[in-house]
Amino acid sequence: MTITKILIANRGEIACRVIRTARKMGIATVAVYSEADAKALHVEMADEAVLIGKAPASESYLKGDAILDAAKRTGADAIHPGYGFLSENPDFVEAVEKAGLIFIGPSARAIRAMGLKDAAKALMEKANVPVVPGYHGEAQELVVLAGKANEIGFPVLIKARAGGGGKGMRKVDAQADFPAALSSARREAKASFGDDRVLVEKYVTTPRHIEIQVFGDSHGNVVHLFERDCSAQRRHQKVIEEAPAPGMPEEMRQAMGAAAVQAAKAIEYCGAGTVEFIVDASEGLKADRFWFMEMNTRLQVEHPVTELITGLDLVEWQIRVASGEKLPMRQEELAIDGHAVEARIYAEDAAKGFLPAVGRLVHLKFPDGDIRVDAGVRAGDEITPFYDPMIAKVIAHGKTRAEALGKLAGALGRTEIAGTVTNTAFLTKLCRDADFVAGRLDTALIDRNLASLTEVAAAPDHILALAALAASGMVRTPGGDAVSAIGPFEIWGAPRRRVMLEIDSAVHAFQVERLGADHWRVSGAGLAADMDLEAVSARGHDWAFRTGGVARRCRLAQSDESVAVFYEGLTHLLSKPQGKRSDDLAAGGNQVISAMPGIIKHVLVDVGSSVKTGDPMVIMEAMKMEMTLSAPRDGVVAEVLVAVGVQVTDGVSLVTLQAEAEAA
C-alpha cells in the first residue's frame, strides 16, 4: 500500500509535526480546522485545508464524519490522528477503514483492548504482565468502591477507566475524603471522556512513572525503543519527560522492555504505542518493583526524547508500518545515544495552581542553537479556551543528563513569550532543582517543592522603571522596528506622563519625566526610590540603558494590555489595567470571579450561606480541566449570579459576598 496524501485529524504542534515528516517523505498533506483555527500554523503548512466545524472540539475535531468527508473531498488515502481527539476512538478507526482509507495507527480491536483501564489490566494479568493491586470490577456504587478502597488500604487512587492525561484521577488519603473525591473524579471523567466509571488502585507512596515506547508491524514484529521517565508531574499531568530514566539498571530496563513487548504482542499491536508502568522507587529502581498502569495506543506528546536518543523519526516509522512495511530495525540494532529532556511550555499561571490562561501571543521567540522546538503557534496567534493551552515543547539532547538539563534550562531562559502568562520560569527552576538534578525523582517531587518552584521573582526596580518608560510611549527607536516593538512613539511631546501598571495584583502609578534626549526619571510608589535611566536606546525588541553607572541590556515587547521584559532568564509580565480588569481589581474581596471562559458545573452555595476563607463555592470546567473557585474571605453570600450549565467568559462575577460592614 502506497500512501500519497495524508489527512491529519488534529491541530497544533502535532499536526505541524506530522506535516514536516510527510513533506520529507514526499507525501502531500491535508489539514482540517475549526473556525477558531482558520489562521493556524498547521493550516498554513499543509498542502490543502478543510474547514470542519465550529470552535468547540465536539463540533469540529471530534466529528468523525466531517473528517472523513474532508478526506474524500481532497483525495487523501490515509488519516493520521495525532494524539488526543479521535486518536484512540475505535469506532473512528473502523469508519476510516470502511471508507477505504488507511488509519495510521493500531487496529480498532487493539484500541478497544487497551481503551478501558480495568479491562486492560485484566488482559495484562492473563499475559503475565505485572499489574498494580486494585479493584477493576464493574460495580460502581459508592458503597462498593469505598469498601474496596478500605480493603486495599489508604492512600488509594481513583482513576477514570477511560482516557488519560490525569483527567478523572484523584488521590484519597482517608476514608472520610472518599465520597467527595469520587464525585469529583466522576464529573471530570464524564466531561472528558463521556464515561464516569472508575477503578480504585493502591497508591504507591514513592512512585515513579516510567513508560516504554513500543512499535509493532503487521508482520508480527514488535520492538521497544527504551524507556522514558515522566515522573515530574503536576495534577497527574506530565511536565518534564526524559530518556533514558535516571538511575535505570540494565537488568530492569530489559525486564520492563520485555514486559512492554509482551503486552503489545498480547493484542497483536501494530504501530506506535506506549506501555506505562508505575514503579516503586522507595528503595531505588529494582526489576521486581514495576507494575502495568495502562497502554496509550497512539503517539505520545513526549515522543521527541525517544527520537533524540535513538536518532529515529517515529512519525516516519508510523507511516511506513501503516503502508504495510516491516519495522525498519530489529531490537538488537537499537541503542541509546546520550540523554534527552523535554519541557512542555503551557499558557498557565504556576503561582495560581497552574491555572490555564488565554491570550494573544503578541511576541514569541524560541531559542537558537542546538535545541529542538516543536510548536504549532506563531506570534499573533491566540491561545483560546477551546483547546489544550500548550504553546510548545522545548527538547534538549546531550551526552549526559547533566548536559541535557543544562541546555534545557538555558533554552527556557532564552524563550520569549508575551501576551499571556506561561510556566517557563517554573520549568527553568525545576530543571535546576537539587532533587531533580540529582535524579531523586517521584511523582510527588513537584508538590513537595511547590513553594520554591512557583515563587514569582519580583522585578527589580530598574526593570519596573524601564517597563513604565516603555508603556509611556515617550521613546522612539532610531533605526529600529518601532511599530512591532512598542507601537507608535513620540519624539517630542509632554515632558511628563503618568503610567499605570499592575504588579502582584496591585495597581501602581508611575510618573515618567524626560530629563534629556536619552535620559529619563521614573518615580512612583512601586519603586524604592526614584530611578534615573540614562543612555536609553531601543532597537526593535532590544533595549539598552544605564542605571547607577551600570550598563544593562534586555529585550522588551508590549501590547495594549501588557509590557513584557525579558531579563536575566526571566520574563517580567506587567499588565496595563483597563476596562473590566480595573473594575475587577476594585471589587476587592467581595466577589468570586471567573479567571477564564468556562462552563459552570456546580454551584455549592445559596444566598444567605455563611462561608469561610477557602470554602468551595463554584466548580467550573475550562480548558479540559475542572476548577474549584473558593471564598476569598469569611462572609455571607449576597448574590449567586450563575447557574449550572451556563457558559461564562473571563472576568465575570459568579458569586458576591455581602460587604463586610453590612454583614456585621
Place of cell 530518556: 243
Q: Is 156:149 a contact under the CB 8 Å cutoff?
A: yes
DSSP E strands: which ranges in 76-182?
Answer: 78-80, 102-103, 134-135, 156-160, 169-172
Provide CB contacts within 8 A for 141, sequence distance 6+.
none
Q: What is the DSSP letter of 284?
A: B
Place of cell 535513538: 310
- As beta bridge partners, residue 229 has 210, 242
**Among 561, 568, 388, 557, residue whose Cα is nearest residue 462:** 568
**Among 258, 131, 143, 264, residue whose Cα is nearest residue 202:** 131
Provide CB contacts within 8 A for 633, sequence distance 6+.
589, 613, 657, 660
**Among 474, 491, 467, residue whose Cα is nearest residue 570:** 467
Q: Is 117:161 a contact under the CB 8 Å cutoff?
A: yes
| Annotated catalytic residue within 298, 344, 401, 555 | 298
Provide CB contacts within 8 A for 36, sequence distance 6+.
54, 55, 382, 384, 386, 387
**Residue 11 and residue 81: Cα distance in Å, rounded?**
10
- As beta bridge partners, residue 239 has none
Q: CA separation (Å) from 7 to 16, 28, 102? A: 12, 9, 10
Q: At what angle do helices 303-310 and 314-322 cross, to 10 degrees?
A: 100
**Among 559, 415, 574, residue whose Cα is nearest residue 500:** 574
**Among 113, 206, 195, residue whose Cα is nearest residue 159:** 195
Long-range contacts of 65-74 (CB under 8 A, 24+ apart): 65/95, 66/32, 67/7, 67/9, 67/32, 68/95, 68/96, 68/99, 68/101, 70/7, 70/30, 70/32, 71/7, 71/30, 71/99, 71/101, 72/99, 74/5, 74/7, 74/30, 74/48, 74/50
Provide CB contacts within 8 A for 181, sequence distance 6+.
158, 170, 171, 172
Cis ω for the linkage preceding 155 (within 30 of 0): yes
How far does the chain reach from its first CA to its final CA, in angstroms?
Answer: 77
Provide CB contacts within 8 A for 440, sequence distance 6+.
none
298: annotated active-site residue: yes
Place of cell 466531561: 191
Three-state secondary structure call for residue 596: coil
Give the catalytic positions in this structure.
298
